[in-house]
Structure 1
Amino acid sequence: MEILTSTIMQALADYILPFLRISGMLISMVGFSAKTIPTPIRNLLAMFIAVAVMPMVPPTPITDLVSAGAFVEMIEQLIVGVVLGFISAMVLDTFVLAGQIIAMQTGLGFASIVDPINGISVPAVGQFYLILATLIFWAIDGHLAMIQIVALSFQAFPIGEVWFTAEQFKEIAHWGSWLFIAAVTVALAPIVSLLIVNLAFGVMTKAAPQMNIFTIGFSIAQIMGLIIIFLTLENMTTHFTTQWNRGQELMCSLVRVCL
């Protein structure tokens, strides 16, 4: 039995192009993009997912992988996957930003640790919110939703037939405003509570000028900040679910998928 070269190239294209879209998503996706996860493990996972979704992927129009058109198509598929993963990362960055805002308001910003995902020093409060948001992401099966979206995208957003428009890229940029809005919403209760505490310090300074209110107030503000963070953690799941639903809606609209 003879196997034509065109058949082999078509089979390779039907596997490599979906693999690039999936691997692009894993490169920037929550959890899998961490520097602590070895690259071979991430690549193996992308290979297994690509093999699983191959039967539902329409035949690609690429017949020659060694061409400029095939190279451009590979870059496009990689960008599609990176965009999907980037949106999920922005959802979690909302809570990192909220934690940093709270840390600055409470004076807890002096305590910093190394972020294992980005490899930079961040306030411990922001890292705490990031870890908590990541655990909620795994708990609500966010990773399975991401895999489902990228699998369904091959039907509604076929390889080689459609591409992101300028309006879609603009929509991604505009969605970044929700990051700041949601971060302020999460940090609003601690900010208002600490504002009341600082106003109380002002009254104490006016009533007893001889007190060194800066020395006492700094310690009390930190203690009150920890108490307020503990009391507001109950709403964390609600805030995360709301922001995650917004992120899912954007991802589904970009690749024309309906979950």
Structure 2
Amino acid sequence: MQFSLQDLDYMLLVFVRVSAIIMVAPFYSQMTIPRRVKLFLSFFLSLIVMNLVDYTAVSYDGVLGYSILVVKEGITGILIGLGSALCLYILGFSGHMVDMEIGFAMAMEMDPTTQVQTTITSTFFSAIFMLMFLASDMHYFVIDALFDSYQLIPIGDAKFSPSLYQIFVKYITDYFVIGFRIILPVFSCILILNVVLGILAKVAPQMNMFVIGMQAKVFAGLFLLFILMSLFPGVVDFLFEEMQLFTKYFTQSMAGKSIVFP
């Protein structure tokens, strides 16, 4: 395959979308993966895409027109990556809320995969999810979504319609609703425990409820998390379905197709 200067221009457009997806999508965006590996993977996938899609119809007018195409391709890749990363964000939110209820939020730690401070349960949920993500071959789904995006959204043909606003509203709504549904058993039990401790504080004021309450919340929270782990595979399967759904929503919206929410 011979490359001309024009081919290199198209190659950069492909590389921008591919690298944007790689930098946002689950597993591929982990900080534990060296940046050189991510760049090499993006470059390798870009070469494959160049041989699969028709980029001869791409046209632009000068440097400004080319810059606009680069920005559009970057936004397209980021939105597709955000659709696939929804499940990971939900579990991180759920883990943080659990730790706020049981008292572990006071002990923050550095998550090596994101290089940001997070709570213990949030890191634990993310680690378990990533193992199931790889075991379910969902990392191949991200690559498939990447290639499919070029069939639906040719280079420079992304359309940012008002339907993207509706998708973002549903995205944020599901982020909170599903996150709270996951932690609802823990939240409910801790609420009941707080009521019981409040009654005991009135009945037996000589008891040190601060010390007893902290220990009771930790033990109750860990016990409930142990029980919830048996339901975790079903939760992750549901999140995988949401991930596929939102990836399809973003792709179809930028392809100019109408979106019908279930």
2:77 to 81, 87, 107: 81
Note the residue ranges of structure 2 that are not aligned, 5 or more in a row.
256-262
Length-normalised TM-score, structure 1: 0.88
Q: Which whole-Å CA distance do the structure 1 matches of 2:60 and 2:190 have between them?
A: 63
Q: Which whole-Å CA distance do the structure 2 matches of 1:105 and 1:232 have between them?
A: 15
Query: Does structure 1 residue 98 correspond to structure 2 residue 94?
Result: yes
Q: CA deviation at 1:169?
A: 4.0
2:36 aligned residue: 40
Q: Highest relative contact order (Cα 8 Å, sep 6+), 1 or 2?
A: 2
Q: Quick check: 187-196 or 33-42, which moved more?
A: 33-42
Runs of 4+ off more than 4 Å: 63-66
Q: Which whole-Å CA distance do the structure 2 matches of 1:57 and 1:204 have between them?
A: 69
Q: CA deviation at 1:66?
A: 6.3
Query: Does structure 1 residue 31 correspond to structure 2 residue 27?
Result: yes
The CA RMSD measured in Å over matched residues stands at 2.2
Which amino acid in the other structure matches residue 42 of structure 2? A
Query: Does structure 1 residue 155 correspond to structure 2 residue 173?
Result: no
CA contact (8 A) 2:30 2:114 kept: yes
Q: Which whole-Å CA distance do the structure 2 matches of 1:65 and 1:151 have between them?
A: 27
What percent of counterpart residues are identical? 24
SS of residue in 2 equivalent to 1:255: helix
Note the residue ranges of structure 1 that are not aligned, 5 or more in a row.
none
Length-normalised TM-score, structure 2: 0.87
Which amino acid in the other structure matches residue 181 of structure 2? T
Which amino acid in the other structure matches residue 65 of structure 2? G
Q: CA deviation at 1:138?
A: 1.8
Q: CA deviation at 1:79?
A: 1.2
> How many residues get paired?
252
Describe the superposition over 1:222-247 as per-residue Cα deviations: whole angstroms up to 9, x where unpaired. 11111111111122222222223122
CA contact (8 A) 1:21 1:81 kept: yes
Q: CA deviation at 1:65?
A: 9.2
Q: CA deviation at 1:182?
A: 0.8
Query: Does structure 1 residue 185 correspond to structure 2 residue 190?
Result: no
| Residue correspondence of structure 1 range 125-164 to structure 2 within 5 A | 125-164=121-160
Change (3 A) 1:41 1:231: same
CA contact (8 A) 1:98 1:184 kept: yes
1:68 aligned residue: 64
